[in-house]
Amino acid sequence: MKPISFKIEKKISGQLGRAGHLDTPHGAIKTPAFVTVGTKATVKSLTPEQVRDLGAQVVLANTYHLYLQPGDKIIKDVGGIQKWMNWSGPTMTDSGGFQVFSLGAAYGKELGKLTKIPAELLLENSPDIDTEEKPKLATIDPNGVTFRSHIDGSAHYFTPEKSIEIQHNIGADIIFAFDECTSPIESIHYQGQSLDRTHRWAKQSLEYHKSKENSKTQALFGIVQGGRHENLRKESAGFIGSLDFDGFGIGGSFAKEDMKNAVKWVNEILPEEKPKHLLGIGEPEDLFYGVENGCDLFDCVAPTRNARNGGLYTKYGKVNILNSKYTNDFTPIDSECNCYTCKNYTRAYLAHLFRAKEMLAATLATIHNLHFIVGLVENIRQSIIDEKFNEFREKFFISYKN
């Protein structure tokens, strides 16, 4: 008996995209779906009821963060993450693989999920790119990763087995294999080595998972890496796709223009009938690129983090509510938006809350942004069902880029 089942309902003709239905032990997810990020078992600034009411279907927490605080044993003892955080719907956990990157290669650098470094500089280890060593909180070796806690400096060692063990304790419906999210500024030689290691770790993750009872109630997704390199991406999709995972994650840190290519290469190879999760992607344009290239699930901190920092989505593009022009703008953030915030508050009031550093600013802004992104993916889904994806896409881009 499989913990999850996935059904494709409709495809975008001539493309990889599709709308589907994913059943989990804690409820169904209609895909494509945006997965709300709740790293430390909370969606920052919102109650689970607020998260549910804005239409979010599923929440993703983080293994590394919950292992450090409060500790996975506590979560196991209370009966799993759903009970721990009072979220009754489906849940996922990331393996800590992203922290290998964010606390390791990317630590102290201007590197993120999508880098500003132009693609042409990523061909080889370019001398133009600053590769100077700075103290890191994660160091990788063939068997695992040593993390130095960002909270208290203590050292912790993660192996694939350890990550899965923690994820079993946390108890989310869908969990991820332990991987290395490779830095895009590494040489192709390193990327190849890293990929071999991620593949080995994927197998270990899967074997360990299958050896436990938890595999009957928790689904495991394997993660495809390979950076911006077509041969590595295809090799990875072939290898990871051949293993008996319940679904797949697509990972990596990209130059903006590389992301959609990588996703396409990979999804042409991965088994069509299994769900694909594009890890850490979630700006509006990128969601379209992900969907049309065959991804079903997306998680991203962008809507929640941007919200806390004053960046609000509208159908005409993003707005920085801290700009002085909004202090006396008595219209809603987005006049066509049906969220709680837009129905009850003005830009001027939001601007006031942000300037006064009031907590409600984060809550109202997060409600709006999540509603926007969750709703956008929902609308994308509907457009696929209605066979109007391309029209919907075009209309959105024209308005959003304005």
Partner RNA sequence: GCGCCGAUCGCAUAGUGGCAAUUGCAGCGGGCUGUAAACUCGCCGACCUAUGGUCUACGGGGGUUCGAGUCCCUCUCGGCGCA
Residues near RNA (CB under 7 A): 37, 39-40, 43-44, 60, 62, 65, 94-95, 97-99, 101-103, 107-108, 112-114, 137, 150, 176, 179, 181, 223, 225, 249, 251-253, 256, 279-283, 286, 299-302, 304-306, 308-311, 320, 322-325, 327, 355, 357, 359, 362
286 has catalytic annotation: no
Q: Is the peptide bond before 127 cis (omega within 30 degrees of 0)?
A: no
Nearer Cβ to RNA, position 16 or 66?
66
Catalytic residue among 94, 173, 246, 286: 94
94 has catalytic annotation: yes
155-158 sheet: strands from edge to edge: 138-141, 144-148, 155-158
Cβ of residue 281: shortest distance to RNA, in angstroms? 4
Cβ of residue 323: shortest distance to RNA, in angstroms? 4
End-to-end Cα separation, the chain, in angstroms:
49
Residues whose CB is less than 8 angstroms from the CB of residue 222 and which lie 6 or more positions away in sequence, other chains included: 177, 202, 205, 206, 240, 241, 243, 245, 248, 249
Mark out the alpha helices in 183-258 (DSSP H runs): 188-210, 230-242
Give dist(CA 314, CA 247) in Å, integer: 32
Cβ of residue 128: shortest distance to RNA, in angstroms? 17
Cβ of residue 311: shortest distance to RNA, in angstroms? 4
Nearer Cβ to RNA, position 201 or 345?
201
Nearer Cβ to RNA, position 56 or 300?
300
Beta strands at 18-24 and 5-11: parallel, antiparallel or unpaired? antiparallel
Assign 269 to helix, strand or coil: coil
Residue that is written with structure tokens 């400096």 in the block: 153
Cβ of residue 372: shortest distance to RNA, in angstroms? 14
Tokens representing residue 9 in the block: 């309902």
Torsion on CA atoms 188, 192, 195, 199, rounded to nearest 10: 170
Give dist(CA 326, CA 124) in Å, integer: 45
Nearer Cβ to RNA, position 264 or 308?
308
Give dist(CA 87, CA 93) in Å, integer: 14
Nearer Cβ to RNA, position 26 or 355?
355
Catalytic residue among 179, 246, 299, 334: 299
Tally: H helices and E strands in the chain: 15, 18
Cβ of residue 330: shortest distance to RNA, in angstroms? 17
Nearer Cβ to RNA, position 24 or 45?
45
Single-letter residue type at 367? I
- Residue positions annotated with a catalytic role: 94, 299
